[in-house]
Structure 1
Amino acid sequence: MTTPQPLTIGIDFGTTNSVVALADPTTGAVLVQFAIEGGETATFRSALSFQFHAAEGEGRPERIVEAGPWAIEAYVEDPHDTRFIQSFKTFAASAAFTETRIHDRRYTFEDLLSAFLLKLRHHAGVAMADLPPRVIVGRPVTFAGGRPDEALALSRYETAFKRLGFEDVRYAYEPVGAAFYFARTLKQDATVLVADFGGGTSDFSIIRFEHTPDGLKSTPLARSGVGVAGDAFDYRIIDNLVSPELGKGSFYTSLGKTLPAPQRYYSAFARWDQLALLRASRDMRDIRGLASTSLEPEKIERLIEVLDDNHGHALYRAVSTLKQDLSRAETAQFSFVAGGVRIEAPVARAQFEAWIAPELTAIETALDEALHASGLPLEGIDRVFLTGGTSLTPAVRALFHRRFGASRIETGGEFESIAAGLALIGLQPDVERWTEG
């Protein structure tokens, strides 16, 4: 039996947003707030920006790194000379990703995450000496990617978090963190299914909570996950609405033959983690050459403009707006306008749901795996807690309403539940039961 820590910190490093929470036995969990123009926010965008500015009269340029809302601000102010990277958590478990070069400087995943965490700490106003020695870091049940290497991802996390100054880095499954957050509301014993839908992964955990004289007892029963979520939905929108207007499905001529434009350009373009790298890749030279031989050169020129002029964030806003609008209405207008590029189209919710049908099937399969591993029938689940930004998608919610009925489903804390729960886990006397170090 270990003694509860007087102060613990939980960090939900997400694909889209990151959240930090502090907890102590007296006050419980409190989210760290970041001061931004017009107020405060607890969600810190998981994005980085890199700028190099040469001071007048000096030969060596100054490297300026920003993260979160400040990275977006730097990008908006100077998109041409800013390298903007988002959704880089997707690289964590990829052995194929060894490094990226930014302004002739090499960055491994550990370097990117370290830079991000240092700026996050800076904007939180936390000095190194103020950090507790232990941190509970959220991790997905299944990392994103085709063949995710879990050990590699955790090794990379370990390096980055220890560079920040933490001595004891522990990992807890993200849906387990959300379960601890939800358990505060329980008035009676319950078996809870937590479904956490983020940007890169959809994760499930089934936990039994029981009230005892010594407090709330929790017993893990099953877990599962799949590496698809909100970013995969974004991919479908871009692939169906945007890429065809930028040359996907078009043809070009070479040595007297008519050939289709390479699909790999558009596969990379439609993924947030790859879009940041495409502009600096060898493929960019080939894309420029494609414009002179394309049968629809105006479309390829639009693609080049989006990449050269760094319209990726404008595209992200357009896609996010469409998803939000379709969560509230049966039809919505997609509008991506940036520079000389204008792509607009009406979209029906049913149309969007048809596009994401493969991802919905994968999510339902992962849910079935958790239920099967628990050995429980559907009736054995007392409460269902849906959290994470992608849980707001009507088709995702409908999946659970069909299975469990509306009366057993609760939602909330879409962006705070994991971080707060992770910090609360750090207070548990049996913290080793819920974490791995």
Structure 2
Amino acid sequence: MSRLFPGLDFGTTNSTLSLCAPGGAPRLLPVEGEHLTIPSALFFSLEDGHTYFGRQAVFEYVDGAEGRFMRALKSILGSTLMKETTQVGRERMTFEDLIGRFLKHLRQTLERETGEEADRIVLGRPVRFVDESDEADRAAEGQLESAARAQGFRHVEFQFEPVAAALYFESTINAEQLALVVDIGGGTSDFSLLRLSPERARSTDRADDILGTTGVHVGGTDFDRLLNIAKMQPLLGLGSSTADGKRLMPVWYFNDMATWHRINTLYTPKILSDIRALRKEAAEPEKLGRMEHMLTHRSGHRLAGAVERAKIALSDEAETPIALKEPGLALETQVTRAEFEAATAELVARIEGAIGEALALGGIGAEAVNTVILTGGGAQVPAVQMAATRRFPQARIAHADAFGSVGLGLGLDAARRFA
């Protein structure tokens, strides 16, 4: 048997795999060509019958291949959608099956790397899959575990994602410190106060070192959604009225078109018929015509991708375009960082509030925190960085590997648990 043990960070937007030997340093595995991350995306091709994963899935979809594109499946865990099925080609699949299909792909990647059966795994999990319900949160973990077991992982353990990020950071320090981990992922944000030191790192049970842990269901895809609603959905009809001025267009179509994991639910004959009927009543029928195009050509994820790229660009730029251009449709507008921050202020406030809750749970004042560890793609947003760090002016700000630190920490955890 191999003395290398695996950790898997199944993320909302990206996933990683790591291996670690007991007492050794973890390493990320190439999971798509030479890439150490893989977008958490699937494309079921109706042209050749194949299932594509990661960047290849995105390419097939953007290239216009006929099929079904799925992304942000982690966001569905614990929701009512997990009880439903969805049409994929000629078969109906549960969302647990869809998640399992992606986990199976990663398990096969792991087995190619080690040359052995992969039957054990440490999976990362957010502090909260679901904010408002403990029962739904427990169900979400159970659903992810069930999906992993169905694909051959007989021994499944979980570790909080911010704790995993701290475990990896801990391997780089030489003195004890109190750290706050701020992990802004694709679908959730997690915050943990931990005591870290080289001596504590030798222990497999770190429960006493975790002083406070909180989480909110806010992540990078939520920033995408609100930016999309503010800047792009009005071009499709959001906020417009009927020609008689008596009522506005129904909001939910546009909210779903801006939400990564709900876009596919709009692609039904019934909803296309609804939009065509609304177009006949609309004061601005050209806008509903664009929405009709989005549904007919299944362009929702392409628009969401354009919004995501603009969000990322605004981390460095004061202004950037959002554009989607394809045959029969041209959508383009400018967005400033100030507009983006105004549209997403409520999300930043929730993140800042959760940090305060973590401090309160730990009974710790902000001045006692030695290090703030920032990880996750959403931590690159300037307003989020400011919210995460402004109450800790004396602390060291450590920028961990945005997409790799959780996976590396899960590998460390796996070596300690399974060795």
Whether TM-score is above 0.5 comes out as yes
Distance, in Å, in 1 between the alignment partners of 2:312 and 2:245 is 44
Residue of structure 2 in register with 1:47 after alignment: 41
Greater Cα offset, 113-122 or 410-419: 113-122
Structure showing the higher strand proportion among its residues: 1
SS of the equivalent of 2:12 reads coil
Distance, in Å, in 1 between the alignment partners of 2:131 and 2:71 is 16
Deviation at 1:96, TM superposition (A): 4.4
Residue of structure 2 in register with 1:31 after alignment: 28
Task: Within 5 Å, give how 1:317-356 maps onto structure 2.
Answer: 317-356=305-344
* Long gaps (5+) in structure 1: 54-61, 432-437
CA contact (8 A) 1:144 1:228 kept: no
Distance, in Å, in 1 between the alignment partners of 2:383 and 2:150 is 41
Aligned match of 2:264 in 263, 268, 276?
Answer: 276
Aligned partner letter, 1:18:
S
Deviation at 1:117, TM superposition (A): 1.5
Aligned match of 1:229 in 219, 229, 234?
Answer: 219
**Kindly tell me: are residues 123 and 308 of structure 1, through their superposed partners in 2, closer, same or farther at Cα, counting changes over 3 Å?**
farther
Identity fraction in percent: 34
* Long gaps (5+) in structure 2: none
CA contact (8 A) 2:22 2:416 kept: no
Task: Within 5 Å, give how 1:32-181 maps onto structure 2.
Answer: 32-36=29-33, 40-53=34-47, 63-79=49-65, 81-98=66-83, 99-122=85-108, 126=112, 130-144=116-130, 147=133, 149-181=136-168
Q: How many residues align?
A: 414
Aligned partner letter, 2:290:
R
CA contact (8 A) 1:223 1:370 kept: yes
Distance, in Å, in 2 between the alignment partners of 1:130 and 1:51 is 30
Distance, in Å, in 2 between the alignment partners of 1:47 and 1:281 is 24
Distance, in Å, in 1 between the alignment partners of 2:113 and 2:270 is 41
Aligned match of 2:294 in 299, 306, 312?
Answer: 306
CA contact (8 A) 1:93 1:152 kept: yes
TM-score under structure 1 length normalisation: 0.88
**Kindly tell me: are residues 238 and 84 of structure 1, through their superposed partners in 2, closer, same or farther at Cα, counting changes over 3 Å?**
same
SS of the equivalent of 2:242 reads strand
SS of the equivalent of 1:25 reads coil
Deviation at 1:181, TM superposition (A): 1.1
SS of the equivalent of 2:232 reads helix
TM-score under structure 2 length normalisation: 0.92
Residue of structure 1 in register with 2:254 after alignment: 266
Aligned partner letter, 1:382:
N
**Kindly tell me: are residues 280 and 20 of structure 1, through their superposed partners in 2, closer, same or farther at Cα, counting changes over 3 Å?**
farther
Aligned partner letter, 1:46:
S
